[in-house]
Structure 1
C-alpha cells in the first residue's frame, strides 16, 4: 500500500524578492511524502503568488488523492495520469506527488533519476543566481554575495532597468541573463532595450513582454539579437507547440509542468521544434530543486538557485559548486531530509 502524507511549510527568504509587479519575503510550500514498504519518497509544492495556488488549494487537492487502487509504485504513468485527472489546474499540487513518486521509485531501484534516464552528470550547466529589483546599495551587496557564480539572472521590468544593469556591471563582468517578468509592453522599446543589453554582455531575455501579446512577442523574437525565453507564457506540455516562432526557447519549471515526468517530455518537445531549453525553479527547498536538477544535463541553461535564496531549507541535495549544478548519486531525486 502506498501512503500519502503532507504538511504545510513557509519558506523564509534571505532578501525580499522584488519583481516588476510584486514583492515578497516568504513563499508557502507543501511538503509531501509517499511511503511504500518502509521506503519514503519526498516531494514539494511551491506556491508563488502568480500560480494561484495556496496551502488551502493544495490541501484540498491532496485530500482528493486516493492511492488505494495502486499497489505497485513502479506503474508511475498510471498513477500520475490518475493524479492529473482529479481536477484541472493545481500544477504545483500535482508536481508534489510526481516528485515524491520519482524519489520513491528511484530509491526502490537504487538509482538516481539522472542515472535512470542515462544522463551524464558531468554535463550539468552552470546555474544562474538571481538578483532581484532593489536599491543600488542592495543590488551591489547581492552581486558581491554571488561572487562564486559564473552567471547571474537580473530581474528587470520597471523604469530603472538600465541603472540596474549599470550598477551590476560596476561590480562584475560575468555573463548575465535578464528576466523582465512581462514588464515591457512596447515592442520597439523592448527591442531597443535588448540591443543595449547585448552590448552589456547579456546572454538571453526571459519573458520580456506580457504573455497575451503574442504578435508583438513574435515580432520581437524575429528582430531580437538575443534569444527570447518563455516563462509565464506557458505551463503544460500542450502549450509548447504554439510558442514556436514566438519565443526562441522555454523555461521549464516543475511547478508548472506538474513534475518531472512532463518536464522530461517538455525537453523532448522543445528540441523537436528546435527551441532552446532553460530549466528553472520557484523559491523552493532543495527537495524540488534537486528533482529538477536531475534533468539538467539535457538543457542549455539552468536557473536552479531557489534553495539558495531561503534561510530555512530542511533538505540537503544538489549542490552548486563554483557556480555549477553538481549532482550526487543518492537514489531518487538525490536528497536527505535534515
Structure 2
C-alpha cells in the first residue's frame, strides 16, 4: 500500500513528501514527533460508497435568463474506507439535464469495492467515467469524495498536496440574480462584504439591472448572460456599454450553438468573453481557442477535480483565461473547487452562500477573498445542525 501512496503523491508533484513517508521508523517512545507526523497506516479494507438526496433552500429566488428557482436538488455522497470518510456532492440545476433520480441510478452502478487501493485515481475515475455517457455531476460526486478521502488518508489538504499556495486564492464574486431594481439594490447592499459582484443579465432589463447595482456600489462587476442575447451586433454594443460600467468580463452572451457569432464578438469585444454553458469537458478546451477568451470551469460539468486540473493545464498552454465557478452547492463541492482556485484568474465560488441549509463548514470568504482551511482533503467538516 505504501507504493500506492507514493505513486499518488508523486503524481501530484509532491515527490519530496512521497519519499519521506516510508522513512518513518521506530516506536512512539523512540521518535514521537515522526510518528505524530506520519499518516495513519492503510490496511486492506474496501471502499464503500453511500449516497442520499438533499434539497438546497435558497435565501432568495434565483433568476437567470430562462428560469427561476427557490430550491436546488443535490445528492450527497460518502466513501468510507479504513475508518475515514470522504464527502462528495452532485448539484443539478435545470440546464444540466441531471436529476436526483438519474444521479442515484448512476451511483448505484459504481462498485468501488473492486479497487483495493484508493490511490489509483486514474484507474478508478476512468472506470467511473466508462459506466455511462453524460452524468457529469454524478461522476463529480464520486471524484470529490475520493479526493477528500485521499487527503484524509495522508492528513493533508489537497492544496498542500498539489503544491498550491493558498495565499494566492482570488476574490470571489457574489451573484445577483435577475430581479426588480428594488430587490437588486437590496441584494447588493446585503453583499457589501464582497469586493466583486456577478450580475445575471439576459432578462430584458439589462441596463436597469446594472444601473441598480451601480446606485449602491462601485465594486467591479462580472456579467453572466446565460445565453440570453441573440443578436451579435446588439451584444457588441452592450458589451461596450458594460465596459464603461466597470465590468471585467462577459460570460456566455450568446447561445452556445452560435459559434461563428461568438468568435466574431470575441474578436471585437473590449472585454473578455468567457464560455460557460458551451463548455463541458476537457476535449472542449482546444475547440474554443479563438471562439472565447477563456473558460469557466465547474466541477459539476468537468466530472470533478481530476479533469478540472487537466483543463487548467491545457487552457494555460493555449493562453486562455480561467475562471472557477460553481452551481448552487453546499460547502462540500464549493470547498473542493476552491482547492484549485489559486490557479485561476477569477472565481465565482459563492453557491454555498446563497443557501440557508448548508450541512458543512469549509472555505471561508474573508474580506471578499477565498480563504482555505488546513483541514485534510477538500477542507470541510460537518455542521452540528
TM-score by length of 2: 0.87
Alignment-derived partner of residue 273 in structure 2: 228
How many angstroms apart in 1 are the aligned matches of 2:142 and 2:78?
Answer: 8
Q: Is 1:266 matched up with 2:311?
A: yes
Runs (5+) with no aligned partner, structure 2: 1-45
How many angstroms apart in 2 are the aligned matches of 1:166 and 1:67?
Answer: 52
Alignment-derived partner of residue 189 in structure 2: 144
How many angstroms apart in 2 are the aligned matches of 1:22 and 1:177?
Answer: 20
How far 1:69 moved relative to its partner?
1.4
Alignment-derived partner of residue 121 in structure 2: 76
Alignment-derived partner of residue 188 in structure 1: 233
How many angstroms apart in 2 are the aligned matches of 1:160 and 1:285?
Answer: 30
Which of 108, 125, 128 pairs up with 1:63?
108
Which of 201, 207, 220 pairs up with 1:156?
201
How many angstroms apart in 2 are the aligned matches of 1:277 and 1:55?
Answer: 29
Which structure exhibits the higher relative contact order, with contacts defined as CA atoms closer than 8 Å and separated by 6 or more residues? 1
Alignment-derived partner of residue 116 in structure 1: 161
Which of 45, 49, 73 pairs up with 1:28?
73
Alignment-derived partner of residue 328 in structure 2: 283
How far 1:136 moved relative to its partner?
1.0
- Greater C-alpha Rg: 2
- Can you list the C-alpha shifts for 1:219-260, whole angstroms capped at 9, x where unaligned? 000000000000001100001111000000000000000000
Give the root-mean-square deviation of aligned CA atoms. Answer: 0.5
Alignment-derived partner of residue 317 in structure 1: 362
- Can you list the C-alpha shifts for 1:105-149, whole angstroms capped at 9, x where unaligned? 000011111101100000000000000000111100000000000
How far 1:9 moved relative to its partner?
0.1
How many angstroms apart in 1 are the aligned matches of 2:87 and 2:312?
Answer: 23
For residue 32 of structure 1, give the secondary structure of its aligned residue in structure 2: strand
How many angstroms apart in 1 are the aligned matches of 2:137 and 2:320?
Answer: 24
Alignment-derived partner of residue 93 in structure 1: 138
Which of 36, 53, 57 pairs up with 1:12?
57
How far 1:68 moved relative to its partner?
2.3
Alignment-derived partner of residue 260 in structure 2: 215
How far 1:94 moved relative to its partner?
0.2
For residue 170 of structure 2, give the secondary structure of its aligned residue in structure 1: coil
Say how many residue pairs are matched.
338
Alignment-derived partner of residue 248 in structure 1: 293
How many angstroms apart in 2 are the aligned matches of 1:306 and 1:51?
Answer: 16
Alignment-derived partner of residue 54 in structure 1: 99
For residue 283 of structure 2, give the secondary structure of its aligned residue in structure 1: helix
How many angstroms apart in 2 are the aligned matches of 1:234 and 1:280?
Answer: 12
Runs (5+) with no aligned partner, structure 1: none
Alignment-derived partner of residue 82 in structure 2: 37
For residue 113 of structure 2, give the secondary structure of its aligned residue in structure 1: coil
Q: Is 1:202 matched up with 2:238?
A: no
TM-score by length of 1: 0.99
Large movers: runs of 4+ above 6 Å: none
How many angstroms apart in 2 are the aligned matches of 1:87 and 1:108?
Answer: 29
- Can you list the C-alpha shifts for 1:60-97, whole angstroms capped at 9, x where unaligned? 10011111210110111110110000001000000000
Alignment-derived partner of residue 328 in structure 1: 373
Alignment-derived partner of residue 149 in structure 2: 104
How far 1:158 moved relative to its partner?
2.0
How far 1:169 moved relative to its partner?
0.4
How many angstroms apart in 1 are the aligned matches of 2:204 and 2:168?
Answer: 38
